[in-house]
Structure 1
Amino acid sequence: MIRFIKGKFHPLTDGTAVIESASGVGFLVYLPANSPLYKNLEGDEVKVFTAMIVKEDDVSLYGFDGKEELDLFKLLITVNGVGAKAAMAIMSILPAMELRRAIAGGDVEAIKAASGVGKKTAERVILELKDKVGDFGDLSSVSSGEQSFSFGSERTEAVSALITLGYSKSEAETAVGRVIDDELPCEEYIKRALKI
């Protein structure tokens, strides 16, 4: 099984990219529409974590920016009726942390916003994964060394924004956690975290 690929990034327009390895082999990889990997330019060096899905008539690679996203994808495809393409559609609607929160919170509307995912499938995802998303960390709080803050707070929104800007989850949580003042607007947390 191919766990990750390192190489040059060549984005395509159909939700895929080619990752050109050092040996010159180009691997076609399906990516979520909101993947941070798309922030890379043509030819940039990237590391893509992959899941290889083997079917009778097809072998496909699904790629993710980090292990957390890869683990969430693997969890989604365990749900009855959710294949790799449906899982990618679900992963394309929200960043991984927000998607975990939507599943844990039973947010059917957020999940059924994914292309090709109906209400019954969204409900099944929540029913089967609600207790399992905790495997990715505590959903009630995010600890960052110096501060601890709960989901839904302005701090958490700032963390999500920084992750969207390309920072790793740990970098974003640490930077926002180092902001001493409480009860600031999300934008202020982002500004101060970027200075840190």
Structure 2
Amino acid sequence: MISFIKGILDYMTEEWIIVDVNGIGYKIYISSSTVSKLPSVGKEVKIFTHLQVKEDELALYGFMSQDELNMFERLISVSGIGPKGALGTLSTLSPADLCMAVITEDIKTLSSAPGIGKKTAQRMILELKDKINTLEAVGLGGETVLEVQQNGTAEEAIFALTALGYSRVDAAKAVKEVFKEDMSVEEMIKAALKKLALI
């Protein structure tokens, strides 16, 4: 198992890179979110990798963080999602947003990823919910989940925002940012809508 590759970024496209490690070039498939975090060609880079073994080929998939790699490996464990589908999902959603979407059963957010329809999103929730706990979401910056579950007013505001067409993840983030203990549901919705208008 190749856990990571550290070397010089030799070549880069939108879908893959080549990393030169002591004169050997490793081709690594990446997500578009990884592309945006890469250094310029000629600089040193460390990529966390997953080695996919098939009968006719070996393929490396790479990520800038261990969190992204962990989420990729969970996504490809879902029946019907292959490495390309998992990369596409991580190009659209961060690990924190994915965790929150799974925990809150936010089908709309999950199906915003390319190639992920409503049925696949439901399967993701079903197969990943037990593998992603709330504490992990908090560690990834998804502390909204805990606070929302513990506050009825915030939950009502989030429900109203999702009824207006916002995803549960975006609604929860907006409510988290404006949340004050003494706010009414109406005040919370108005303040959250202003935040959402700026996104």
Fold shared by both chains (TM-score > 0.5) = yes
State the Cα distance separating 1:10 from its structure 2 match. Answer: 3.5
Asked if 1:107 corresponds to 2:82, the answer is no
**Aligned in 2, Cα 1:36/1:133: closer, same or farther, shift over 3 Å?**
farther
Moved over 2 A (4+): 10-14, 36-39, 141-144, 149-155
Asked if 1:72 corresponds to 2:67, the answer is no
TM-score by length of 1: 0.68
Distance, in Å, in 2 between the alignment partners of 1:35 and 1:88 is: 10
Asked if 1:88 corresponds to 2:111, the answer is no
Matching residue of 1:29: 28
| Structure 1: segments with no counterpart, 5+ residues | 156-184, 187-196
State the Cα distance separating 1:45 from its structure 2 match. Answer: 0.7
Name the count of aligned residue pairs: 151
Percent identity (aligned): 37
Distance, in Å, in 2 between the alignment partners of 1:133 and 1:143 is: 11
Letter in 1 for 2:129: K
- Cα pair 1:37 1:65 within 8 Å, conserved: no
**Aligned in 2, Cα 1:126/1:112: closer, same or farther, shift over 3 Å?**
same
Distance, in Å, in 2 between the alignment partners of 1:48 and 1:142 is: 21
* Matched residue SS, 2:92: coil
The structure carrying a bigger helix percent of its residues is: 2
- Cα pair 2:12 2:41 within 8 Å, conserved: no
TM-score by length of 2: 0.67
- Cα pair 1:18 1:27 within 8 Å, conserved: yes
Greater CA radius of gyration, 1 or 2? 2
Matching residue of 1:126: 125
| Structure 2: segments with no counterpart, 5+ residues | 146-172, 179-193
Q: Deviations over 1:2-41 (max 9, x none)?
A: 11000112353241111111x1111110111112664411
Distance, in Å, in 2 between the alignment partners of 1:38 and 1:17 is: 13
**Aligned in 2, Cα 1:142/1:47: closer, same or farther, shift over 3 Å?**
closer
Residue 154 of structure 1, aligned match among 177, 186, 194: 177
State the Cα distance separating 1:51 from its structure 2 match. Answer: 0.3
- Cα pair 2:18 2:28 within 8 Å, conserved: yes
- Cα pair 1:89 1:114 within 8 Å, conserved: yes
